[in-house]
Amino acid sequence: MSISTRKSDKNRSRTGVVACGALAREVLELQDQFGADKYELKFLPAKLHNSPHEIPQAVDDALSEIATRCDNLLVGYGDCGTGGVLDVVVAKHGATRIQGAHCYEFYLGVAEFTAIHDEEPGTFYLTDFLVRQFDTLVYKPLGLDRHPELLNDYFGNYTRVLYLSQTTDPGLVETAKHAAHRLGLRFEHRHTGFGDLESAMKGAA
């Protein structure tokens, strides 16, 4: 067997993961936990959520890039506002996707998220990533730093902030509480860990 063949066989035993950049910390930690040699990772910009119609093509391109080097393909996205188009891309590549409409759903699990959301639809969700990037991705893009009078226009129908934490970082909890206070909403916290992301990566490997 030639050296190039051995290299190819080794690569094809790996799982290719195309994931949203908002999940990068969690995916990298799980990669370390389950074995770095088992995965090839590619992260796409989290800002794609501002234009979800662009997500399917970006995922399609990324899967095409790594498919020849990997035996299994996992897509680290929910539907994320693509209206089912992302699932067409996933099926095209014979990949699998974590079940759920978004990361809040697969962190909690579909059934638990549905129950919580039905109980209080006026919920604004935060994850570790969104807590860290609250000003960059929420407060400033909505113009609330410049026009606080818009707060009620954006959040008048919300009743609470629910922070779904992946880590046990007291500093992030305090930052999330402060974010809820700035939005004028009740704060709640639930620790989810990595949820279905963990089982999906473990199963794919």
| pLDDT tens readout for residues 117-172 | 999 999 999 999 999 999 999 999 999 999 999 999 999 999 999 999 999 999 99
- Cα 2 to Cα 166: distance, rounded to the nearest angstrom: 44
| Section 70-76 average pLDDT | 94
**Burial class of residue 158 in the structure, from the number of CB atoms within 10 Å of its CB (0-12 exposed, 13-18 middle, 19+ buried):** middle
Beta bridge partners of 161: 124, 187
Q: What is the DSSP letter of 94?
A: T
For residues 40 and 14, is the Cβ–Cβ distance under 8 A? yes
What percent of the chain clears pLDDT 90, i.e. is strictly above it?
87
Q: What is the pLDDT of residue 64?
A: 96
**Burial class of residue 62 in the structure, from the number of CB atoms within 10 Å of its CB (0-12 exposed, 13-18 middle, 19+ buried):** buried
- Cα 54 to Cα 57: distance, rounded to the nearest angstrom: 6
Q: What is the pLDDT of residue 13?
A: 76
Would you say residue 9 has pLDDT above 80?
Answer: no
Of all helices (H) and strands (E), which one includes residue 74?
A: strand 72-76
Mean pLDDT, the chain, whole residue set: 92
